[in-house]
């Protein structure tokens, strides 16, 4: 697809997203990401799904806002879901809480888990409103590690980002562009431990219920140098309804 090399940085939130010099990506190195760990990434295209697969061989998930649960899905289902009509309610198949998926992955010594907290694709210029995926996760986060990743595509003519339209035609046009650029930025793992939210005593510290969700969002804003928006998965659904009505060519998917 024209991605001859990938620009990769490990950055620190303490320096507002500045970090080590860019290096060539080593796709056979998990970089400290273990089975049951959570990889959080913004979602703009099917390209980063290929990238995450080759680097981590993870478990991809589909999020359902109505129940705040996840469903493990295959690589090809994750690709198919890119830019598709977002489902708010889960299907008849079983879904799981985040903690249940983590426990399963760790017990089977399986793979890390990829979560797209926006729940749907954006245009890559900003972050959509995050879903409360980490709402029931208490701190300190001891059961698993959270790894923050952001992706950004630099382009001059045709954008690798995919939000709506014919996916096959988008793929053909992307392959027809000789050179494409993907920049991957990740946060130093030690900075997402949330240790600064507790005192070094036996006394329990009271924290907001959404502290993990809000901090993950803040980390991604700093790492990827994005801006926040008030738009989320519901607004994306309304946009696709409008697009389908206006173009007459968008197929709404329920499952």
Q: Can you tell me which residue has the tokens 């090399």? A: 5
Closest CA to 127 of 49, 16, 229: 229
Do the beta carbons of residue 69 and residue 95 sit within 8 Å?
A: yes
Instruction: Tell me the pLDDT tens digit for each residue of 170-197.
Output: 999 999 988 899 999 999 877 766 555 5
- Where helices occur in 161-247 by DSSP H, the ranges are 167-176, 211-224, 233-247
Q: Which residues contact 184 (CB under 8 A, 6 or more apart)?
A: 6, 7, 8, 9, 25, 51, 149, 150, 151
Contact 40, 216 (CB under 8 A): yes
Candidates 77, 80, 75; CA nearest to 56 is 75
Q: According to the model, what pLDDT value does residue 193 have? A: 61
pLDDT tens profile 200-229:
444 444 455 678 888 899 999 999 999 999
Q: By C-alpha distance, which of 139, 131, 103, 113 is closest to 212?
A: 139
Pairwise CA distance, residues 215 & 160, whole Å = 28
Rounded to whole angstroms, how far apart are CA atoms 17 and 222?
A: 5
Cis amide leading into 140 (omega within 30): yes
pTM: 0.84
Lookup: tokens for 40: 């959080």
Residue 116: pLDDT above 80? yes
Model confidence at 30, pLDDT cuts 50, 70, 90, reads low
CA nearest neighbour of 206 among 214, 198, 215, 194: 198
pLDDT on residue 252: 52
Q: How far apart (Å, rounded) are the C-alpha atoms in residues 5 and 181?
A: 8
């Amino acid at each position: 697809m024209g991605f001859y090399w990938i620009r990769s940085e490990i950055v620190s939130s303490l320096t507002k997203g500045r970090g080590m010099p860019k290096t060539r990506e080593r796709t056979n190195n998990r970089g400290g990401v273990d089975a049951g760990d959570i990889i959080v990434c913004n979602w703009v295209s099917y390209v980063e799904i290929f990238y995450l697969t080759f680097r981590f061989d993870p478990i991809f998930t589909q999020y359902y806002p109505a129940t705040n649960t996840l469903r493990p899905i295959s690589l090809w289902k994750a690709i198919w879901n890119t830019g598709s009509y977002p489902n708010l309610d889960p299907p008849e198949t079983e879904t799981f809480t985040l903690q249940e998926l983590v426990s399963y992955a760790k017990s089977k010594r399986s793979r890390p888990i990829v979560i797209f907290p926006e729940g749907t694709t954006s245009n890559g210029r900003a972050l959509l409103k995050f879903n409360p995926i980490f709402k029931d996760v208490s701190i300190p986060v001891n059961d698993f590690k959270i790894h923050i990743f952001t992706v950004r595509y630099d382009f001059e003519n045709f954008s690798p980002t995919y939000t709506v339209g014919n996916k096959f035609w988008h793929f053909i046009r992307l392959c027809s562009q000789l050179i494409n650029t993907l920049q991957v930025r990740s946060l130093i793992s030690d900075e997402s431990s949330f240790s600064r939210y507790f005192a070094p005593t036996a006394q329990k510290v009271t924290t907001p219920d959404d502290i993990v969700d809000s901090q993950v969002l803040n980390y991604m804003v700093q790492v990827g140098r994005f801006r926040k928006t008030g738009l989320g998965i519901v607004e994306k659904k309304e946009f696709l309804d409008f697009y389908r009505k206006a173009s007459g060519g968008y197929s709404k998917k329920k499952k």
